[in-house]
Each structure stands twice: as C-alpha cells, then as structure tokens.
A and B are shown apart, each in its own frame.
Chain A
Amino acid sequence: MNAKPLQFVKPADFHARARAALDDPKLRQSFRGAMDFLQDKRKTQFPDGDELERLRDIGEAVRRHALARLPDLLVQLEDKLTAAGVQVHWAEDGEQANAIIHAIAERNRATRFIKGKSMASEEIELNHYLEARGMTCLESDMGEYIVQLAGEKPSHIVMPAIHKTKADIAGLFAEHIPDAPYTEDVDSLIQTGRRALRQAFVDADIGLSGVNFAAADTGTLWLVENEGNGRLTTSVPDVHIAIMGMEKVVAKLEHIVPLTSLLTRSATGQAITTYFNLISGPRRAGEKDGPREVHLVLLDNGRSQAYADEQLRATLQCIRCGACMNHCPVYTRIGGHAYGTTYPGPIGKIISPHLLGLAATADLATASSLCGACGEVCPVRIPIPQLLVRLRTEANRNPNEEVSHPLRGQGAKFSRGESLIWRFWSGAFARPASYRLFRWAATRLRMLTPRAQLGWTQHRKPLTPAPRSLADLLNARGQEE
C-alpha cells in the first residue's frame, strides 16, 4: 500500500490550527452536518429521559466502583486470562508497549499486522513504530483505512474519517488502490475497500485490536463493532494482540451490559452494534480457527497520574463513546485535527494532559466556553467542565508550588505578572476598605485603562470601568450600599 506518510501534528500548535480550521468552510460544513446527524441519532435512542438518567447512574457507579478497585481488578483479570492461556503484558508508556508488541512479532517471525480499531494503538503511534522496523500495519476499520491512506490521524474517536467527504474518499481510493475506478457511490466505495482489505486478513501474521471493556470475573475482552473487521482481525491470524488502557477493566461481566447500552446509543445512536465479540482465550483444543496465541497489553501511559488525584480520576470513567465531542460547540467548529492529540474534543482536553503533560497541552483546556454540554451528555457522568477548570488552574499554578499530586508540566502557563494581577484583585476585593479605594480609583482613572487587553480586544472593544460604580448609583437612589 502506498499511503502518504503520516503527518505529525503537535497540540502546541493548537491556536494556529484552530484558526486554519475556522477558515475552512468545507471542513466546518462536514463537521456541522456530521455532529447534527449524530446528535439526532442519539436523541432518538433515548426517548425516555428517566431511563437515561437511571442508566447513567448505573454507568457511573460501575465505572467508579471499578476504578476504586482498579489494582485488584487488574490482577484478577491477569489471573483469569493467564489461566485461560492469554499472555498479559504491562506497559508503563508507549515505548514499552510498542517494544512488547514488536518483540511478540519477532518471536513469531511475523511482519504483517492487520489492525482493528484501537485508539490506544493510535496513542502509542504503533503503526509508525512497526513500519520503522520493517513491518507493515494495515488498518482494517474502513474509516481508519481511509485516514491511513491519506497519511492522517483519526479526527474522531468513533468515526475516524468524519472530516472527509465521499469525493475526498473517491479520490483517495482511485489514487491508492490498484484498479479502483473513481466513483462517489458509497456502496461501491465500501466494496472497493472490502476487496482491498480482504486478502490482507488472509495474509496477516498478527491481528491487533483494541478492547472496549474487560471483565475481571470471567477474564473476557469485550469488543464492540459494526463492520466485522474486528472479528476477522481477532479470528483469522495465528496471533492476536489486544491493547487496552488499564482503566477499562470492570469487576463483572454483567456490569458491561448497561455500559454497552450506554456506549452504542451515545456513540452512534444504535440500540446495539452489529457485533459484540467476547474473547476469553485463544483457540481451545479441537477448535479449527481462532488465534493460537492471544496477548493483552495493559497500558498506563500517564493514566496513573489522573488516577492519583481524587477529582481527576473521574477522567478514567470514560467509555469512549464520543458523545462529548459530538455535542461540543468548539469541536463542531474546528474538527478533530486542530487539537493535535489522539483524543480530540472535551475528553481529549481532559485526558491528553496526563498522556502528554501539561506543557504540551496547556492551551487545550482553554478551548471551551464551559457551556456544560459535554458533561450533560456524558453517559457515565464525567464532570468534564469542572475538570477543565481544574486543569486550567494547574496550568497556571506556580511550577514551584508544592501540591499533593503535582501534574507533569504544572505551571506551563504560569505568568508572574498575571499571578500578581490576580493577587492584587483578590486583595482589593477581600476587604471593604480596600475595595472602596479600588472602586474610587477605577472609576476616576478609567481613561488610563489599556486599549489592548490580550485576547479580548482581538474581536471586541476594550473594557473600561463605568464612570460611576453600581454602589454609587444605588447610593444616589437613596438605597443602602
């Protein structure tokens, strides 16, 4: 496959990329249309508001309970899977996870990977790592395949190619897939993609997949999908490697039932997806297909930082439905690529600082109007707006301040001048006498207010204090202050 080389984008370039995205009417139209569509589909799946709220309570309780017992559940999952013949690996960061997967391939003399959808593998840039070592890693989810051909990363965690029009995809297929005619007929395009990938399932040495949920009590990896590429990936090659963020385990298999209902309805507005694929081990004696070797890579990669803090731990409740981005006014206007992170949108803004550090991601938490839509739709009730405010605080905190759970990159946006202004402000407002003096000075010296006020005056008139304060006006009306 002669895909374009992957373009790497940094979250530090967020402002420039957001501006470029806002200037692209085609992109904005794509996202506006897609988000409206997904919002409507979700709405039709939850006609009963009470049922939704009860289910959200359950979803939140299941996830919070699992997180509270996370170390024990991971050990239980490992024990169960090991007993069933699955090899469990622990990876502290992306480099370790990549090395583990590479070593499994080398041990099996394998060079050809076929990959089901996995955001964790995007997070560790696995394709790039393997390709640099002479191996191929072909994406088999249709959306992922499209962005791989284009040399891009997914712009949405559920629908990776949502930013592309069918004309874009027609062009990509005609350019990259041998004998593919140019057509904008979606059925024909999907059949072209199917033909291009079908042989790859047969030829692949290793199938790599993500994991939606893992049940500690039965040692089951629960995979959710519509296309069947995930089932082919985990059934046809001789070796299956699953990779999952270590927070995805829950205590019991039956706890996954309400979570799947929340996931599929919130994500794509489906009552259920076409396939739930429950894997509890490699092929057993007498079975004629299924992988002979199954591996699970448990990935930390910064998650334990979020875990350490009582408030930020809620980040890890996420079930990756994407509803927060589908309902986010900022995401809808700038699209997923502007963020420069594996996870875009509201969930990306609260998880990426742990994966990449605050220094690289400090601008992301500011890209929110705090309208609260993300928190309102979150099926497991992650308080995303509160977490955004908290991350803004941490990014502006003095890097030398000692706190119980310091975040990597604490104080990335700290400014001594700004911090002094705030200190002056709170001092002025804390005592009646100083407040009166400040008020007097602000109204009398209002003409000295600077004309340029950072970002505010880019699109708005400068703020100046009123000639008379509210208190003065009230006094003039003969009321008590």
Chain B
Amino acid sequence: MSAILTARERMLGRLRAAAPAAPEAVGAIDTAIDQHYLARRAAAPLPARDRIAAMQAALRASHAEVYCISSEAWPALLAQRLGEHGVRRLLLDTGSAEGQALRAALPAEVETLSFARPLAQWKSELFDTVDAGFTIARSGIAATGTLVIAPDAATPRTVSLAPPLHICLVSASTLHMDLHAAARAERWADGMPANLVLVSGPSKTSDIQQTLAYGAHGPRWLWVLIIDDLSAHEGGQP
C-alpha cells in the first residue's frame, strides 16, 4: 500500500475499523420479507381476473385513463381517442406487431414516428413537437396500479417521459399482485437492464401548498390499455 492513502482507502479503513466481524445472516431477513408478502397475499388473494379490476382501480385513483380491452379491439379504440385528444405526432416502435397494428388503425392526420436516431440528434424536436409516446409494459403490478417498463433500443426511455401523453399497453396475463411478486417472478436479482422504470400514474406534484397538480415535468396524461388475454393463458397466472 502506498504511503498516501486514497479517500477510498481512508473511508473503507474507518468503516472496517468499526464494523463487527460477523454480521447477522441475510437468510433470516429474506425469509421475513417473503413471509410478510406471502401472508398478505394469502390474506387477500387476488385471482388473475380480479387483478385487472384492482389494476384499473389503482390507476384511476392516480388519475390515469384505463381501458380493459381485447387484443383485436384496442387499435381502433386508441385511434379514436387519439383523434379526440388532438394528437398529431405519435412516437412508437413501428417494428413491433403492436406498433404496426396501431399505425394501420390511425387516421391520416396522426403522424407516426419511430425513435430511429440517437436522442442528441432530435432532442428539441422530441420535446417540442411530439404529442404522445406509445410503449408496451413488460408487466404490471395490480396492488398499486404500476407499469413495469424496460426501455430498449426500439422504445427508449424518453418515449414514456418527454411527450405530454404517455400510452402504455399491458397484458392482463402479466399482472403481478405486488412489487415483491414482480421482482421475484421476473428474477430482477439475476440482472437488471440499464434502466427499469415503474410508472404509477401521470407525473404529479404537491409542492405548492400540498395541492395536487398533474403534469409537473413528465406526462400530464397516462392512458393504459389492459389487454385481456386471460382466456388465452391457462388459468391466467403469470
């Protein structure tokens, strides 16, 4: 070790000088957490069909617009709602089956664009001219009305963030009961994407005299389409 210690070495040295040699085992904590959430789920079980209702209720309570709809009917409904909302430019992944289905249903006055360029090349354009972004959630969390979104190359982070309207498609068969169930079932601990986002409603703040206001910095409106695919999945359990 060199004579002059780095900040890292000094900080770790101070901590090591004080830390107990044998800390308590982690297993007991893991078990306590699992038991806590398992007991809560056992006390109020939520079959797959009821999870849709819980998801809808929680999302509506946090000011989102929610539809539960079949996998055939959603493009037409969304096209109609976009027209009513006055959306002119919609950002979506035109490479995905859902993106293509939506584009086919849209009226001519709604322009679609995909995130083909790096953000730096069109940052201002994205922030100033795009009205809505369309994403597909990896899964949902019924208890809190939460969308689990893993941005990727085709649907980057800002799609669900920069435009004032965020639209998200989530399959009913992917709805977990709570955050603990989602993290466990999807094995988050085995490896995380660079960014994973949990969205539970449109952007909001209560920073001015505890008065709730929406559209603080992120999307002012959140529309969620829950695709009812339960009959296609055995028992509907994710």
Contacts and interface: CB of A to CB of B under 8 A. Distances in A.
A83 to B, nearest CB: 11
B195 A90 contact: no
Given A186-B213, A258-B33, A272-B146, A278 B10 contact: no
A275 interface: yes
A328 interface: no
* Size bin of chain B's contact surface: 35 or more
Contacts of A70: 15, 19
B124 interface: yes
Contacts of A272: 144, 146, 179, 198, 200
Contacts of A69: 19, 23
Contact of B218 (A64, A228, A286): A228
A335 interface: no
B200 A273 contact: yes
Contacts of A193: 216
A165 B209 contact: yes
Nearest to B155: A288
Residue from the set A190, A298, A304 with the largest chain B CB neighbour count within 10 Å: A190
B194 A252 contact: no
A4 B177 CA distance: 48
A307 B18 contact: yes
B192 to A, nearest CB: 4
Nearest to A260: B179
A290 B115 CA distance: 13
B105 interface: no
B62 interface: yes
Interface in A41-83: 51, 54-55, 57-58, 61-62, 64-65, 68-71, 74-75
A308 B10 contact: no
Contacts of B120: 238
Interface in B164-186: 179-180, 183-184
Contacts of B2: none
Interface stretch (A194-202, A347-355, A410-418, A461-469): A194-202
Interface stretch (B24-32, B71-79, B223-231): B24-32
A142 interface: yes
Nearest to A272: B144
Given A142-B207, A160-B207, A288-B115, A75 B12 contact: yes
Interface in A296-354: 298, 300, 304, 307-309, 313
A227 B19 contact: no
5 contacts: A190-B205, A191-B215, A219-B192, A220-B192, A289-B151
